[in-house]
Copies of this chain bind each other. A is one copy, B any other.
């Protein structure tokens, strides 16, 4: 494995790493890509990637423009720092897709995934490794992973109908109107105990 003499921190190094990461993730997928392989492609020391980005997940987020909001939320869910996970999940997601910049990044990935199997794989692997596993951990049910993916399906569908197909009244509904109806559903999916019947707090 070549380690080149390129000095740490030369101007453009960060961008070189991002470019290499984007190519690797796009061609090999999320799981099969290592920081070491990206470092080799970028002709930099692997320690530099850690220095600039910390983790593979953070580098993926930076390279693909995937909203950092989501991986931040996943980290906070895992750390038990979120008081009401269903509401936090729905609000974080709506704020991300309702902001032009995040929405464009997400829609670019969805657009790629719809037309390109490699892009679909990259999105699948990232969603599974990062977001869905954190959500699934909230439920102690044996089918927790299926439940987490149905939560994701609800949210992905909301973005599709709200911002791509733009079906009314969902396209024009306020965050609070959507939250009032969707949070109980997410709560029912993620209910940690007491069987699969939807319940949970009733919105006021």
Contacts and interface: CB of A to CB of B under 8 A. Distances in A.
Interface of A: 107, 110-111, 113-115, 120, 123-124, 127-128, 132, 143, 145-147, 149-150, 152-158, 160-162, 164-170, 173, 177-178, 180-182, 184-185, 188-189, 195-200, 202-203
Contact of A181 (B160, B162, B165, B196): B196
B173 A146 contact: yes
A73 to B, nearest CB: 18
A101 to B, nearest CB: 18
Given A153-B157, A157-B157, A157-B158, A165 B113 contact: yes
A132 B168 CA distance: 10
Given A145-B169, A146-B170, A185 B198 contact: yes
B165 A120 contact: yes
A170 to B, nearest CB: 4
B147 A181 contact: yes
Nearest to A186: B185
A200 B110 CA distance: 33
Contact of A161 (B111, B156, B161, B199): B156
A39 to B, nearest CB: 28
- Tell me if A's interface is mostly helix, strand, loop or mixed: helix
A36 B149 CA distance: 45
B196 A197 contact: no
Contact of A164 (B113, B132, B168, B184): B113
Find the residue from A146, A165, A182 having the highest chain B CB count within 10 A: A165
Given A123-B165, A165-B120, A170 B197 contact: no
Contact of A115 (B111, B189, B199): B111
